[in-house]
Structure 1
Amino acid sequence: MDSYHRLLLRANRVRLVKDMFPDRVVSKMRGGLLNEADCEAIVSRTTAKAQAEELLTILPRKGPKAFGEFVKALRDVQSHLAEPFLAAAGLSESNDEASREGAGRVNPTDLVTMLPSDVESRLHALLDAENVLGDNWERVYTEVGLPLDRLPKVKESTSPTGTTLRLWHGRQASRANVHTLVDILRRIPRLDVVEMLQDAMTKTPKSNVLKK
């Protein structure tokens, strides 16, 4: 499993552990991605939350196809939980070609609270992850001038990045856009996240706005 997929699962781990039906998801992958030893290790746990934790612990060790197989199984069992992962897994909720063509497009004037779901999920995964250098969501939080006394509560949220962007938009409205976010990410610096947003920008004629 590649590093981005690991980050995406980590960023959504709290929600998955809380809401997933792990026994049903495991049954979809039994005999394929998961062998009998894997299944036994998961279902032997005494609670659904513990089973979900074990499944999410095992998945990253199961090779490059693990993420896609997991998302397919999750989509079959609980489609609403699979939504943040569909684009990253190369799956689509719709067979409509026009919908697929428009997915993931980003305009520099887009508000940070209105990003396409696949771009939003990737942004959250990259910035929510713990970072020894401290150049994650906390730096964004301080750069946009949000109150430091609220930072501990934001840290406890499911996605601190998502909460930070919503608070920023609530305080600064139209200034909380993609172009401003990219400028902040360059200063931190988180050039990997800048590159991800620029990749999304290349799907639109205005993509050069973010380029140096």
Structure 2
Amino acid sequence: MSQIGRPAEPDKRTLRRDFLAVRNRLTADDVHGSAVRLAEHALGLPELTDARTVAAYVAVGSEPGTLALLDALRARGVRVLLPVLLPDNDLDWGAYSGERSLVPVRHGGRMELLEPAGERLGPDAVTTADAVLLPGLAVDHRGMRLGRGGGSYDRVLARLERADAHPALVVLLYDGEVVARVPAEAHDRPVRAVVTPSGVRRFPA
């Protein structure tokens, strides 16, 4: 029960619906322009400047775009790992070798994803990353991230913890998705920073 006089905290499902509704109103020009600015800010992060391997993802639909950032990292000589969705919602990984190496894959009735062609490196490949770029819908002042609810990145974070791996966790969002508070559970891990089209915000360790 919520405390008397204090409004109940919105649940994750309601928040996800609300944030997705805002994203769905964005135009293609909005998404493209945001992606360019987001990449510029992200490339200045020390965690990415010093990284040899970065685990990332290919944005789809109205997510903040990532291809400009992936290509810039690869041009720096960074090894970029991209996820491959498995039937149980866990993630395998493959190396990114340019936009032409991506293949569209539809998993059941879900949105079509762009996944790397070529060798599968196994779910544990993410433990070799110096930084992990996470998708999300929002982040709060503590660095707690609201994901899309599929559980794939919960497994990634749990795998990192089991391996005692501590890459920099960074979430990529739009400006309006940095909020006062999102619901958090015991297994949730805070991110180190959020990158938006207007800049970078870091969180206490």
More strand by share: 2
TM-score, normalised to structure 2's length?
0.26
More helix by share: 1
TM-score, normalised to structure 1's length?
0.26
